[in-house]
Structure 1
């Protein structure tokens, strides 16, 4: 019998339940939706988490699609799932937890006696550290972004090679291999020896079917490659970036992009123009380095200094 919160499944079974992480202001219990898919055969454990940021819905879409497709009778090992990690932020469709104004993915490994986010991080980190592999599903919030997988442990970490292998197996086509901020699950779990990746499944407001499909396919790529399911997956070579060049608006106005997401750019290429409401060009911004047009804001209006776009740099093939 394998349990996560109130979900409990014998070999060859699947169950859903709740993982208690505290109480609301009226004293009601807060429980994260969790699932246990316990394979009929012995094997490793995969932990999958979504909804760390309350307005990032693509990962939740992935969970809602891949869990019903998993047949415990055909599974070797166990899949543990937290379907919505940032409970409070999800309820109000916000990025940060409104109870403590924290970003959950800066709170790991958490604190059982800490703030709301720290308690959620502690409970989900306990679940993650029971696993042999961890996938923490994200998206580019409300920005436009290519589908990518992030390796956040840093290139000198003892688990870097294993994390990078997991990212390649997930097979989005693009990898960002850059050490992440303190408190990320994808940084904290490798410190416990567990290969972990942070797929950023596009960016949109709402529910993006193409990015969700990338995520579902990625989960099954991992399940097959690592022996949870029969079959094999041989990933294609991935385009890897090691850093970002970020660009802000030198003037207020409307952004007119000169390149598309995923397009290669060379140093000196035009990235975007700023125009006034009458189409008069106020500024034109060019690329500082060779790279790939990785991410951009969704809406065109900007104030001086406001974020506009990012170019992935130091590109190679892995």
Structure 2
């Protein structure tokens, strides 16, 4: 948790270890691991990259590896999330989200709709819990079971 706080990102999610993952193996060796997730798969996201670089600078500064002479961005106000869950597509179709990253959401709130190619049938995607949108699928075409909206619970 110390590394995550020094990194200074907006959300911290202390997630459980996955069997046979690099993170779990490092944990067994009493090594600290920090995973930063930002942007989208298969795309370069300048904001996410800038946040990662700024977080690395803050972390190196907190560990005494670099000094104050470098311009080190101030950390974001951090919110510790206890757990998270993904809202998944119940049907295949065209995905249209009505929420954005960082939005606060309430249980039962409609977060998106999935429609058929003609826009006739629209299936709502509802929040299963209160929380914050920490991940969002930007693919317009989704299949049943796809992860759509990641909600972190404070």
TM-score, reference length from structure 2: 0.85
1:95-149 residue CA offsets vs partner (Å, 9 max, x unmatched): xxxxxxxxxxxxxxxxxxxxxxxxxxxxxxxxxxxxxxxxxxxxxxxxxxxxxxx
- SS of 2:35's partner is strand
What's the offset of the Cα at 1:234? 6.8
* Residue 6 (structure 2) aligns with: 169
1:244 aligns with 2:84: yes
8 Å contact from structure 2 (residues 96, 140) kept in 1: yes
2:50 aligns with one of 188, 198, 213: 213
What's the offset of the Cα at 1:297? 2.1
* Residue 203 (structure 1) aligns with: 40
* Residue 137 (structure 2) aligns with: 297
1:266 aligns with 2:106: yes
* Residue 53 (structure 1) aligns with: none
1:297 to 1:193, Cα distance in 2 relative to 1, 3 A? same
The structure with the largest alpha-carbon Rg is: 1
How many angstroms apart in 2 are the aligned matches of 1:234 and 1:302? 38
How many angstroms apart in 1 are the aligned matches of 2:8 and 2:24? 20
What are the equivalent positions in structure 2 for 1:4-153 lying under 5 Å apart? none
- SS of 2:40's partner is coil
Aligned residue pairs: how many?
Answer: 151
1:61-115 residue CA offsets vs partner (Å, 9 max, x unmatched): xxxxxxxxxxxxxxxxxxxxxxxxxxxxxxxxxxxxxxxxxxxxxxxxxxxxxxx
What's the offset of the Cα at 1:183? 2.6
8 Å contact from structure 1 (residues 225, 233) kept in 2: no
1:277 to 1:234, Cα distance in 2 relative to 1, 3 A? closer
* Residue 180 (structure 1) aligns with: 17
* More RCO (CA 8 Å, sep 6+): 2
- SS of 2:96's partner is strand
Q: Which sections of structure 2, spanning at least 5 residues, go unmatched?
A: none
1:229 to 1:257, Cα distance in 2 relative to 1, 3 A? same
- SS of 1:196's partner is coil
What's the offset of the Cα at 1:287? 0.9
8 Å contact from structure 1 (residues 224, 233) kept in 2: no
Q: Which sections of structure 1, spanning at least 5 residues, go unmatched?
A: 1-163
What's the offset of the Cα at 1:251? 2.1
How many angstroms apart in 1 are the aligned matches of 2:135 and 2:98? 13
8 Å contact from structure 2 (residues 9, 77) kept in 1: no
- SS of 1:199's partner is coil
8 Å contact from structure 1 (residues 268, 288) kept in 2: yes
Aligned CA RMSD, in angstroms, stands at 2.1
